[in-house]
A and B are shown apart, each in its own frame.
Chain A
Amino acid sequence: MAETKRVVRPPVRPLSPHLQIYRPQMTAISSILTRITGNGMIVGAILMVWWLLAAATGPDYFAFVDGLLHGWIGRIILTGSLWAVWYHYLAGLRHLWFDAGRGLEIETAERLGWACVIGSVLLTVLTFFII
């Protein structure tokens, strides 16, 4: 039997154009920002609980942690977390709206994305005025 060995090559399948090909779009950016802010807020949550634990421990330890949070690095992280809260808040409301089957037309979805970005900055500034 003269059977030749056949080399099995995987078929060359077309690849779908991905991040490097697509122009960044508002719908995609606003979606990934929801995930980034949602997961990033864990940093702010850890700091807040650490701060609470310090308050429960005593004045000296509290002064140390409170001092760190009031330092410039602390302030940057906390302000970033505040913006993340508001962005995730608005994007979450948008998600509930989408889940109800509304606002899914491309123009509306893009406008809602801008509303989340601009609204979150406005709410962050507003928070500083209220507190």
Chain B
Amino acid sequence: MRYLTDRKRAEGKGASHTGTEHHWYMQASGAALAFIIPVFIIALGRAFGRDHAGVVEFFARPHVAILTGLVLFVSMRHFAKGATMMIEDYARGSTRKALIIAVLSLSYLITATGLFALARIAL
């Protein structure tokens, strides 16, 4: 008699080893980015070309600061998971692990730096 169900034995044996959470996160964050990216691109374009005082004044506005922080955070999570997918397709073993750690670190570093800059400008 088998004590494990077929489902239990099959879990974790697929290509991702986890399930569909990763893919679902890409869909959910992608849908969120679809709404905020066009607004952010236009905002960024209008800020680009101003002098220092103008740029600081622009990003100190609450809605611009919130939008920028939101775009930074969501897009960097989306990037980290997307880049992980690419690395998993092309690299194996220790190289794969090292590259994924590097990409995760880079995405968090960019997020932290961007949020620090925003805080300094807006607060």
Which A positions have Cβ atoms within 8 angstroms of B?
35, 38-39, 41-42, 45-46, 48-49, 52-53, 55-56, 58-59, 62-63, 66, 69-70, 78, 82, 85, 89, 92-93, 95-96, 99, 127, 130-131
| Known A52-B59, A56-B120; contact A45-B52, beta-carbon cutoff 8 A | no
* B79 CB contact (under 8 Å) in A38, A52, A62: A38
| Known A39-B83, A39-B86, A53-B116; contact A85-B37, beta-carbon cutoff 8 A | yes
**Residue total for B at the interface (Cβ-Cβ under 8 A):** 36
The answer to whether B114 and A52 touch across the interface, beta carbons within 8 angstroms, is: yes
- Does B27 reach chain A (CB closer than 8 Å)? yes
- Does B15 reach chain A (CB closer than 8 Å)? no
The answer to whether B31 and A41 touch across the interface, beta carbons within 8 angstroms, is: no
Give the CA-CA distance A62 to B46 in the complex, in Å. Answer: 17
CB proximity to A under 8 Å, residues B71-114: 72, 75-76, 79, 82-83, 86, 106, 110, 113-114
Contacts of A131 in B (CB 8 A): 42, 45-46, 48
The answer to whether A92 and B46 touch across the interface, beta carbons within 8 angstroms, is: no
